[in-house]
Amino acid sequence: MTPARIDILVQARAVIGEAPFWSGREPALYWIDVKAPALFRTDPETGDTRRWTLPAEIGGYALLADRSGAIVALRSGIFALAFASGDLDRLAGPPFDPRTHRFNEGDCDPAGRLWLGTMFDPLPGVKAEPRADHLYAFTLAGGLVRHAETAFVANGFAWSPDGGRLYLADSRAGRIDAVAFDAARGRLGLRQPFAAVPSGLGVPDGGAVDAEGFYWSAIHGGSCLHRYAPDGRLDRRLPLPVRYPTMMAFGGGDLATLFVTSATHGEPGSPQDGAVLRLRPGVRGEPRPLFGETRP
């Protein structure tokens, strides 16, 4: 399962590159830079990249089923973004104080609900004590629904192939949990420890699940990806040429290419930091749902 090589798809120098999503019908890779702030679409054959500049930090998004736009989670609220015009339509206000918190993670569950995490990230000049915030789910019919689970830095959302388990990382705690999930009703159940990253080796950031049911975690600050077996055992460590990998997504026509976003955090670092990487890890992924679309 050793990849032949790791390519740079986009030499982005992103401050916080995040949230890669493979759109197979186009085909194209979508991703964001939280702090730009912007949403991007990259053609994997040519590397050509389109940019939608946004008015506030973006922490997550979901493509609409017809690919005409996306639901974007900004520090200032939830909006519908029209790709053709770039116009934004406000759907919901922020469920937190935007001076101290922002959205930090987003992915659709098997029934097409957009789940959103948050993080404590005060605006410049704002002084406040760190405080955890909740997870939220968003639909057009029900709006934002708050759930009991909390995290200081929510990350790592990914669902098991059968949809019965949600993986959830709290980067500040260095921990990944497995949460029982009722896809039909969109409810969270028992939360159990799944894996932990030892202090000093980086923290768990974005996640993905492959077709074999193994969970991948981007080890932020650790220059690598971890692949965990369904029982939480560390199966593999895959080194990367970037210090801060942030998230990954399976894509390509066979879903056997892994796209990895990364961050610079404004540091000089290596020339690769902040790039979107591409590699063949030797295992396939599964299609991820679009907003409002149920996964088969």
For residue 151, the number of C-alpha atoms closer than 13 Å in the C-beta half-sphere is 29
293 falls within a domain:
no
In the prediction, which pLDDT does 49 show?
Answer: 97
In the prediction, which pLDDT does 295 show?
Answer: 66
In the prediction, which pLDDT does 296 show?
Answer: 60
284 falls within a domain:
no
287 falls within a domain:
no
Place of tokens 């790791």: 6
Whether residue 205 is annotated as binding a ligand: the answer is: yes
In the prediction, which pLDDT does 273 show?
Answer: 96
In the prediction, which pLDDT does 4 show?
Answer: 60
In the prediction, which pLDDT does 176 show?
Answer: 97
In the prediction, which pLDDT does 150 show?
Answer: 84
Overall number of domains in the chain? 1
Whether residue 155 is annotated as binding a ligand: the answer is: yes
For residue 53, the number of C-alpha atoms closer than 13 Å in the C-beta half-sphere is 1
How far apart CA 269 and CA 131 sit, in angstroms, is: 30
Residues of the chain scoring pLDDT < 50: none
Tell me if residue 205 is catalytic. Answer: yes
In the prediction, which pLDDT does 239 show?
Answer: 95
Please give the model's pTM, rounded to 2 decimal places: 0.96
In the prediction, which pLDDT does 68 show?
Answer: 94
| Helix or strand holding residue 162 (H, E) | none
Catalytic residue, chosen from 109, 205, 210, 273, is 205
Closest CA to 12 of 36, 28, 24: 36
292 falls within a domain:
no
290 falls within a domain:
no
Q: What is the CATH number of the domain that holds 86?
A: 2.120.10.30
Whether residue 25 is annotated as binding a ligand: the answer is: no
Q: What percent helix, strand, coil does the chain show, rounded to 5?
A: 0, 55, 45
70 falls within a domain:
yes
Q: Containing domain of residue 35, as a range?
A: 6-279
264 falls within a domain:
yes
β-sheet bridge partners, residue 261: 247
294 falls within a domain:
no
